[in-house]
Amino acid sequence: MKVLLIAGGWSSEREVSLMGAKFIHKALIDLGHEVVLFDPAKDLKTLPKLVREVDFAFINLHGSPGEDGLIQAMLEQAGCPYQGSGPGPSMIALNKACAKIIFEYNNIPTPAWEFLPIEPEKGWESTLNFPIVVKPNSGGSSVDIKIVEKEDELKLAMENIFEKSQAVLLEEKIDGMEITCGVLGESPLPPLLIEPCSQFFDYYSKYTQGGAKEVCPAPISDELTEKIQDIALKCHRVLGLKGYSRTDFIIRENIPYVLEVNTLPGMTETSLLPQEAKAIGIDFRGLIEKLIELGMEDCNE
């Protein structure tokens, strides 16, 4: 097949996207596909023309565009199959506040939270207990996330996000094990334990060698493993996701609290979801092949 590999984009996660694309490109070539590289940040207007010349699009974008459903919508307009979730579910999953509303409606545990789409008026105070996790409402790779212990730190962390014209999500910090669990097709993968070397699994921990210890399968009880897998699959379904996803958890007192769901997880050979796939015998090349297969099936439904 002739595959359009879409990577780069204009979010703060651009470099992460391009790094993963190198591994995907090699896997696609090894699988015998012809690959055309496309970076939306450089020439978005050529996308409709390019998709008429390919058989499949493989999206490796993080943040917006990509996880917000924009590229998926353009591909669907052109009738081009791609891997992963459609425009609507992608947009909802990327918007952390919207996803949390759906989690709570479906009785899925998630940390207490507040959504601030605009900067609050003078005198505003959070109703949450400190410490508080401050994060952009739409974003990934832990960019601009801060853990704050007091009011003045909270205001500064929020101002940093508002200055970038982004909405703010606040969460009560929960102490516990950091676990992530992927879904491939309609099957949950083995949970993976993350032990960051810093205060939490931040950008440094994720993309610096030795920044975190990652163990897959996670050394936890069968009962907790099943509970995490059930919730990861439930999140995947209630958000209407397709192909694959990865749900991040904090485990406290044997209760898995959902932090967020990733619709386009990191895709280097050592990224979290590929590690989980490898634990059940699917190597990186096999994972790329499976994602293309699932994307083609979704297109033909």
| Residue numbers annotated as active site | 13, 141, 207, 246, 248, 260, 262, 266
**CA 250 and chain centroid, separation:** 16
Whole-angstrom distance, CA of residue 286 vs CA of residue 171: 37
Among residues 209, 214, 180, 181, the alpha carbon closest in space to that of 195 is found at: 214
Q: Tell me the two tokens of residue 119.
A: 């900067």
Residues contacting 236, CB < 8 A, separation 6+: 183, 245, 247, 261
DSSP for 132-191, please give it. EEEEESB--TTTT-EEESSHHHHHHHHHHHHTTT--EEEEE---SEEEEEEEETTEEPPP
As a whole number of angstroms, the distance between CA 99 and CA 131 comes to: 22
Cis previous bond, 65, omega within 30: yes
**If 0-12 CB within 10 Å is exposed, 13-18 middle and 19+ buried, where does residue 220 land?**
middle
Give the residue among 9, 15, 135 at the shortest CA–CA distance from 64: 9
- Measured CA to CA, the distance from residue 111 to residue 178 in angstroms comes to 13
Which H or E run includes 258? strand 255-262
Within a 10 A sphere around the Cβ of 134, how many other Cβ atoms? 24
